[in-house]
């Protein structure tokens, strides 16, 4: 087994081809957002051939609804205005990473359109450009060979999906993504995990990467010796990498065994694989069925379609990995091709769906199903059902492991998404001029610090524990900003990695704390306007009122530090013993100052 | 096009467009790909290669070693000849006349930009839903982006429409660039006297090479309209950003009101004539339209003057500018407010003024017509003194609520019909094809 990784990292700032700000990962969807509706047609690729993946999608008659928050989307995102010039900050970030891994930067960068017709791009394509080829990322003892670095646009976020329609949010569309693809070099789960983390950490050194769930995404491609190359998309949680790889290995092994068994059976009776797809309308003989699925389809004018799978008895029920059988694989194709809810097959307990023995007998007889055969049933609106059963049958007849793009689920499994995309999916983005990566541009690209260098530097500055933690933290860029503005490094690190973490655990909305707020907070501290102890109080109020400045919070909540004569006056009035005094005024009194004053007094 | 040094390098190495090549820079992994034509823009030193992944990249062949690995097929030219015909010329067909523009555009490898290349027969193949309207007879009469059109194109289009109806068409759709489609719609409205069936102009704001193109729906709705039971020249485009409804606009009442949106075309100073649903193609009329009469014979009035000017009034416009218009046979002025140019009666009589120059133009036989530069509303020359002075100087247009573009097209047409000053003025002021309304419809401004 060989595993390769494609890491997609979102960059924050502005979108790739317009000047909209990028939304936060957990940006709530604005209730007043504009809505609009679109459809997509297919079109021939640059070489005149249609990509199989996009043709497959277009079989589905779907429409798409988009929700467009005003603040984070514009006419370019709506596919109503041509793209503007490329976001130079994002371009430089991609070049910087390429330089870091010593890759061969493309002399002249050509923006491409990658056909995507599932509605996740309003235009029907994703803009993407190859920035560099080759290179090696040094990650401790591991040398990770990188095949490509691309710069591309993020797709829309999906809100809901059913057979006929999908709803997407437009704010996510167009966020710059750096895509780093490795060669298929990982031979174990542990290695792959290490590789994914190393690439993620290294990208984080760029500084302008986004943080939060979904802002870094791993696609995994897995190939097994007898199987084929399968791409699995949308893995958001690295902890699922282990079951994902293990399950895929099992799935491919299982599919190979099933194919071998099928070929053996066919050979034994001297039949060959079916040449064309055929199925039968079973609606008339099941008109009175009490099976809910069938009843529902027929009562709304739909149909029940059935097909025989000769010599497939027992194969559909064969488990590939937990909760996934060969039948599930066929069902995926039915769902994707026809937008149906599911498929029934003869290796299941059909009685549990309400089919009687008598009905099953009729079905078997009509389809000509004998002992060694299996059958599948689909009940839905007629056109959807025919497309679905054609999809399922065409999958059933494929031997071995088909080349597929699959979608990772939350349990470490995956389901079929579309056939693997080919080169015909790409054609030039004519609205954007090619970009020359000349000396002038490359001179603007600075050096990216390696993760190990950075970690070493931070450990020297903050001690080993805090240093290592800061190096891996998403707050690294903020930390850097605070230190550059003159903040005490240790206090800055503790505030980011302890105070804010503690507040988040208490349920405070720490995401609403901006870098600007933290800069103001540290500036108040350096001007001796507030105490260290007041930080968590001020931050806690800021989580509740994200629009307030630190100054406003200090004024309203009486959190300005008291010192000098005012402190002495307070001591005279309230002080009995230092312990209870400090307990009462810990947010606004600096203990060392108090002791200093009292010692002098004594 | 590659530059001289690069072309000669390719020639020396025996590499042609479409061949597979290997390129190796010192110290880097070799790159393999297929050689493409290069877009005009960018560094012409760079070769454009298509990698097996589908990505295009530009490499500088002078900074490494280039060799041919495999001969390839030369890329087939996409698109057809400028003039061709497809389908069967049956009676009662719908006719599609392609003139160019985004709706028939594809990527052009010469420039890397979008260019009109798809011919009419390609269009129907692109949109299988058009089968519903067969038989469709298709032909391309020219292939130009509409910004490059002039009145001679209007003449040819009108001629082509007449030929279609003479050949038994029951309706005509014209695929057109969107930049000046409104002008062409107005021109055809005037040129096709006696038209007894629908002539529908349509286009695309997104080119058909992308899945999101509005061309499919615009084409479908236009075909549906062309087959329906009414007559006249209309423009049919998306009603909004949504892929659901198209509007039919009167040819004299429509303006491109947005540079890029699907909804760019809006009826101005009038309601759209109808809407067409993209699902089944059913039409909902907003007003009573002239009925269909396929027996009606078109009398071509497709001569247009090519010597008319469309001018914009602005603060500071000088008498010198006005006098420079004397080289034209006619001028339409998009005036400020109710239809004004600066016309101050207090100026000394010896001085050259805008007003004196206008008077001189008119006296020399140039037809000068006023239109509003405001989007909507009527030219009212009798309200203010400036207007009265302009009217006295011989400017026509008082009372017309026409679009400035329509007035321009109409003047081209009127002067094409008659060189006689009086006759041309008369034609101009005769309301036709909804260009001038009798009274202004109730409007609350909401």
Q: Which of A79, A80, A426 sits opposite B54 (nearest CB)?
A: A426
pLDDT tens track for B164-181: 999 999 999 999 999 999
- Residues found in chain A: 602
Q: Tell if the CB–CB gap between B261 and A80 is shorter than 8 Å.
A: yes
Domain boundaries, given as residue ranges, for chain B: 4-70, 85-300, 308-429
Cβ–Cβ under 8 Å, residues B230 and B198: yes
Cβ–Cβ under 8 Å, residues B38 and B47: yes
Q: How far is CA A396 from the centre of its chain?
A: 30
Cβ–Cβ under 8 Å, residues B237 and B216: no
Q: Tell if the CB–CB gap between B112 and A113 is shorter than 8 Å.
A: no
Among the residue ranges A93-102, A149-158, A395-404, B33-42, the one predicted with the least confidence is B33-42
Band (A566; pLDDT cuts 50, 70, 90): confident
* B77 conformational bin, left if phi > 0, alpha if psi -120 to 50, beta if neither: beta
Q: Considering only alpha carbons, which residue of chain B is nearest residue A36?
A: B242
* A297 conformational bin, left if phi > 0, alpha if psi -120 to 50, beta if neither: alpha
pLDDT tens track for A482-515: 999 999 999 999 999 999 999 999 999 888 898 9
Question: What residue has token string 């037809």?
Answer: B367
pLDDT at B114 over 60: no
pTM recorded for the entire structure: 0.86
pLDDT at B421 over 80: yes
Structure tokens at A425: 């999916």
Q: Taking residues B418-442, what's their average pLDDT?
A: 96
Tell whether the torsion through CA atoms of B38, B43, B47 and B48 is positive or negative.
negative
Q: Which fold has domain B4-70?
A: SH3 type barrels. (2.30.30)
Residues 6+ apart with CB under 8 A from A570: A562, A585, A589
Q: Taking residues B403-418, what's their average pLDDT?
A: 98
Between helices A451-462 and A464-472, what is the axis angle to 10°? 140
Q: Taking residues A126-133, what's their average pLDDT?
A: 97
Instruction: Check for a shared fold between B4-70 and B85-300.
Output: no
The conformation of residue A156, written as its DSSP 8-state character, comes to P
Q: Taking residues A369-398, what's their average pLDDT?
A: 93
Band (B76; pLDDT cuts 50, 70, 90): very low
3-state helix, strand, coil in chain B (%, to 5): 25, 25, 50
Band (B359; pLDDT cuts 50, 70, 90): very high
Instruction: Kindly list the residues from chain A whose CB atom is less than 8 angstroms away from the CB atom of residue B261.
Output: 75, 80-81
pLDDT at B71 over 50: yes
Instruction: Kindly list the residues from chain B whose CB atom is less than 8 angstroms away from the CB atom of residue A108.
Output: 42-43, 46, 48, 57-60
pLDDT at A466 over 60: yes
Q: Which of B162, B256, B292, B359 is catalytic?
A: B256
Cβ–Cβ under 8 Å, residues A497 and A475: yes
CB atoms within 10 A of CB A22: 25
Of 3.30.450.80, 3.40.50.261, 3.40.50.40, 1.20.1560.10, the CATH number of B308-429 is 3.40.50.40
Instruction: Looking at the structure, give the CATH architecture of the domain made up of residues B85-300.
Output: 3-Layer(aba) Sandwich (3.40)
| Structural domains of chain A ordered from first start | 2-254+421-428 (no CATH), 274-398 (3.30.1360.30), 451-561 (no CATH)
Cβ–Cβ under 8 Å, residues B427 and B414: yes
Band (B123; pLDDT cuts 50, 70, 90): low
Structure tokens at B120: 């009419």
Question: What residue has token string 């107005």?
Answer: B186
Alpha-carbon gap, residue A183 to A144, rounded angstroms: 8
This complex has an ipTM of 0.90
* Count of CA atoms in the C-beta half-sphere (13 A) of A244: 32
CA angle at B187 for the pair B185 and B193, rounded to the nearest 5°: 105
Q: Is B178 a catalytic residue?
A: yes
Q: Is B102 a catalytic residue?
A: yes
Instruction: Kindly list the residues from chain A whose CB atom is less than 8 angstroms away from the CB atom of residue B209.
Output: 43-44, 427
**Closest alpha carbon to B289 in B253, B324, B323, B319:** B253
**Closest alpha carbon to A126 in A176, A181, A56:** A176
Instruction: Kindly list the residues from chain B whose CB atom is less than 8 angstroms away from the CB atom of residue A114.
Output: 54
pLDDT at A49 over 60: no
Q: Which of B39, B51, B107 sits opposite A427 (nearest CB)?
A: B107
Mean pLDDT of chain A: 90
Mean pLDDT of chain B: 90
Q: Mind telling me how many Å the CA of A308 is from chain B's nearest CA? A: 32
Alpha-carbon gap, residue B36 to A47, rounded angstroms: 11
Percentage of chain A with pLDDT > 90? Answer: 69
Phi, psi dihedral angles at B293 (to 5 degrees): -150, 95
Residues 6+ apart with CB under 8 A from A567: A589, A593, A594, A597
pLDDT tens track for A346-369: 999 999 999 999 999 999 999 999
Q: What is the DSSP string of A544-601?
A: H-TTS-HHHHHHHTT-S---THHHHHHHHHH-SSHHHHHHHHTTT--HHHHHHHHHHH
Q: Tell if the CB–CB gap between A43 and B242 is shorter than 8 Å.
A: no
Q: B239-249 as b/e, with b when 16 or more CB fall inside 10 Å?
A: bebbbbbbbbb
Q: Tell if the CB–CB gap between A428 and B262 is shorter than 8 Å.
A: no
Instruction: Kindly list the residues from chain B whose CB atom is less than 8 angstroms away from the CB atom of residue A435.
Output: 42
CB atoms within 10 A of CB B88: 10
Cβ–Cβ under 8 Å, residues A76 and A17: yes
Alpha-carbon gap, residue B145 to B139, rounded angstroms: 17
CB atoms within 10 A of CB B212: 26
Structure tokens at A139: 């990650």
Structure tokens at A513: 């704390």
Q: Considering only alpha carbons, which residue of chain B is nearest residue A47?
A: B75
pLDDT at A48 over 60: no
**Closest alpha carbon to A332 in B185, A323, B394:** A323
pLDDT at B82 over 50: no
Band (A243; pLDDT cuts 50, 70, 90): very high
Greatest pairwise CA separation for chain A in angstroms: 108
Whole-number pLDDT of residue A83: 97
Percentage of chain A with pLDDT > 70? Answer: 96
């Amino acid at each position: 087994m060989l595993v390769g990784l494609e890491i997609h990292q979102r960059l924050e700032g502005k979108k790739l081809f317009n000047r909209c700000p990028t939304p936060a990962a957990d940006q709530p969807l604005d209730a007043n957002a504009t809505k609009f509706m679109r459809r997509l047609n297919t079109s021939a690729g640059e070489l005149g051939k249609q990509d199989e993946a996009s043709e497959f999608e277009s079989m589905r008659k779907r429409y798409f609804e988009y929700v467009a928050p005003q603040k984070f989307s514009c006419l370019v995102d709506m596919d109503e205005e041509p793209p503007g010039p490329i976001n130079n900050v994002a371009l430089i970030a991609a070049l910087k990473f390429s330089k870091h891994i010593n890759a061969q930067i493309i002399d002249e960068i050509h923006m491409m359109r990658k056909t995507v017709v599932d509605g996740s791009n309003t235009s029907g394509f994703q803009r993407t450009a190859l920035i560099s080829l080759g290179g090696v990322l040094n990650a401790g003892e591991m040398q990770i060979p990188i095949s490509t670095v691309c710069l591309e646009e993020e797709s829309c976020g999906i809100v809901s999906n059913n057979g006929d329609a999908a709803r997407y949010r437009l704010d996510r569309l167009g966020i710059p993504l750096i895509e780093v693809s490795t060669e298929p070099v990982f031979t174990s789960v542990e290695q792959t995990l290490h590789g994914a983390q190393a690439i993620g950490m290294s990208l984080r050194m760029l500084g302008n990467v986004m943080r939060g769930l979904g802002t870094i995404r791993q696609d995994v491609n897995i190939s097994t010796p007898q199987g084929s190359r399968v791409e699995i998309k949308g893995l958001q949680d690295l902890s699922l990498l282990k079951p994902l790889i293990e399950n895929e290995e099992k799935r491919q092994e299982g599919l190979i065994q099933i194919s071998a068994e099928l070929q053996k059976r066919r050979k034994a009776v001297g039949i060959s694989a079916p040449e064309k797809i055929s199925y039968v309308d079973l609606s008339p003989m099941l008109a009175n069925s009490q099976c809910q699925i069938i009843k529902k389809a027929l009562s709304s004018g739909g149909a029940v379609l059935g097909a025989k799978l000769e010599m497939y008895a027992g194969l559909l029920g064969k488990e590939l990995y937990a909760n996934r059988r060969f039948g599930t694989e066929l069902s995926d194709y039915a769902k994707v091709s026809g937008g149906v809810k599911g498929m029934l097959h003869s290796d299941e307990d059909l009685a549990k769906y309400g089919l009687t023995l008598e009905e099953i007998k009729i079905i078997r007889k009509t389809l000509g199903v004998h002992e060694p055969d299996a059958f599948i049933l689909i009940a839905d609106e007629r056109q959807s059902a025919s497309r679905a059963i054609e999809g399922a049958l065409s999958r059933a007849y494929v031997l071995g492991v088909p080349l597929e793009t699959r979608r990772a689920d939350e349990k470490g499994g995956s389901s079929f998404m579309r056939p693997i995309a080919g080169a015909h999916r790409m054609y030039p983005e004519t609205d954007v001029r090619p970009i020359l990566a000349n000396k002038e541009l490359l001179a603007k690209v600075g050096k990216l610090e390696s993760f190990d260098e950075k970690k070493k530097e931070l450990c020297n500055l903050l001690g080993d524990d805090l240093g290592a933690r800061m190096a891996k933290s998403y707050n690294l860029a903020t930390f850097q900003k605070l230190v550059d503005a003159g903040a005490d490094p240790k206090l800055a690190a503790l505030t980011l990695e302890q105070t804010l973490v503690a507040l988040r655990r208490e349920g405070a909305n720490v995401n609403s704390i901006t870098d600007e707020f933290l800069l103001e907070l540290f500036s108040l501290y350096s001007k001796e306007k507030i105490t260290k102890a007041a930080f968590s109080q001020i931050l806690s109020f800021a989580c509740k009122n994200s629009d307030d400045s630190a100054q406003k919070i200090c004024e309203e909540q009486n959190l300005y530090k008291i010192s000098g004569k005012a402190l002495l006056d307070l001591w005279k009035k309230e002080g009995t013993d230092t312990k209870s005094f400090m307990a009462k005024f810990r947010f606004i009194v600096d203990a060392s100052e108090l002791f200093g004053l009292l010692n002098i007094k004594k | 096009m590659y530059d001289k040094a690069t072309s000669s390098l390719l020639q020396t190495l025996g590499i042609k467009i479409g061949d597979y090549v290997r390129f190796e820079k010192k110290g880097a992994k070799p790159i393999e790909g297929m050689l493409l034509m290069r877009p005009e823009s960018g560094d012409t030193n760079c070769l454009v290669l298509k990698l097996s992944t589908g990505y295009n990249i530009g490499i500088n062949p002078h900074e490494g070693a280039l060799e041919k690995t495999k001969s390839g097929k030369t890329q087939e030219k996409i698109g057809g000849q400028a003039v061709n015909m497809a389908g069967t010329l049956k009676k009662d067909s719908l006719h599609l006349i392609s003139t160019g523009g985004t709706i028939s555009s594809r990527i052009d490898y010469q420039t890397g930009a979008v260019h009109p290349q798809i011919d009419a027969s390609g269009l129907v193949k692109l949109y299988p839903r058009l089968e519903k309207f067969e038989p469709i007879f298709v032909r391309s009469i020219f292939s130009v982006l509409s910004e490059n059109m002039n009145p001679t194109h209007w003449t040819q289009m009108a001629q082509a429409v007449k030929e279609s109806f003479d050949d038994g068409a029951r309706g005509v759709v014209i695929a057109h660039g969107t930049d000046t489609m409104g002008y062409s719609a107005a021109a055809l409205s005037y040129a096709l006297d006696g038209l007894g069936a629908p002539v529908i102009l349509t286009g695309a704001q997104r080119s058909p090479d992308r899945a999101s193109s509005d061309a499919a729906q615009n084409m479908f709705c236009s075909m549906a309209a062309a087959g329906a039971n009414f007559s006249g020249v209309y423009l049919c485009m998306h009603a909004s950003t949504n892929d659901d409804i198209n509007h039919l606009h009167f040819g004299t009442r429509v303006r491109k009101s947005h540079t890029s949106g699907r909804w760019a075309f809006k009826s101005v100073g009038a309601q759209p004539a109808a809407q067409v649903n993209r699902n089944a193609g059913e039409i909902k009329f907003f007003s009573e339209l002239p009925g269909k009469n396929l027996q009606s014979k078109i009398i071509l009035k497709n001569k247009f003057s090519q010597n008319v000017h469309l001018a914009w009034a602005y603060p500071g416009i000088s008498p010198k500018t006005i006098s420079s218009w004397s080289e034209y046979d006619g001028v339409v002025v998009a005036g400020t407010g109710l239809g004004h140019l600066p016309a101050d009666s207090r100026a000394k009589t010896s001085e050259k003024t805008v007003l004196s120059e206008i008077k001189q133009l008119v006296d020399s036989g140039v037809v000068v017509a006023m239109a509003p530069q405001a989007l909507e509303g009527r030219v009212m020359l009798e309200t203010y003194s400036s207007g009265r002075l302009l009217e006295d100087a011989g400017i026509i247009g008082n009372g017309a609520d026409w679009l400035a573009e329509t007035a321009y097209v109409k003047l081209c047409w009127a002067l094409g019909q008659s060189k006689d000053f009086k006759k041309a003025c008369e034609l101009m002021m005769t309301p036709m094809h909804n260009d001038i309304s009798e009274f202004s419809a109730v409007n609350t401004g909401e």
